[in-house]
Amino acid sequence: MKKQIVLLEVPEVILEDMPERFAVDGFTCTECNGAGEVWRQDCDDPDGWPDGWVKKPCPVCGGSGKIMAEVTVNWKKQED
């Protein structure tokens, strides 16, 4: 499993109603292990191999084999 460290830097101006957003990409899809396809049982195709099982595009990555994280940071006051 890939891990990635993200460094946060406090912005000069902090607006409570405007969270900071960024994307971290390059992760392998864990649903299909990067293959982009998964085996699913298809009741509409009983002749699939074996016993109605067919390869379908991965529902998580859409067939790319890669996923990304969308990160949202909300800066708030620290309460001790």
Residue 22 in domain: no
The CA R_g of the chain, rounded to the nearest whole Å, is 20
Instruction: Check residues 31 and 50 and name the one with the higher pLDDT.
Output: 31
Model confidence at 43, in pLDDT bands (50, 70, 90)? low
How many domains does one find in the chain? 1
Range of the domain at 54: 31-73
In sequence order, what DSSP letters do the residues of the chain get, joined into one string?
-----------SS--TTS-EEEEEEEEEPTTTTTSSEEEEE-TT-TTSTTTTEEEEE-TTTTTSSEEEEEEEE-------
Report field, pTM of the whole predicted structure over 0.95: no
The reply to whether 15 falls in a domain is: no
Does the residue 36 lie in any domain? Answer: yes
- 25, pLDDT greater than 60: yes
Find tokens 């405007």 and name the residue: 18
Share of the chain above pLDDT 70, in %: 89
- Asked if residue 18 has pLDDT above 60, the reply is yes
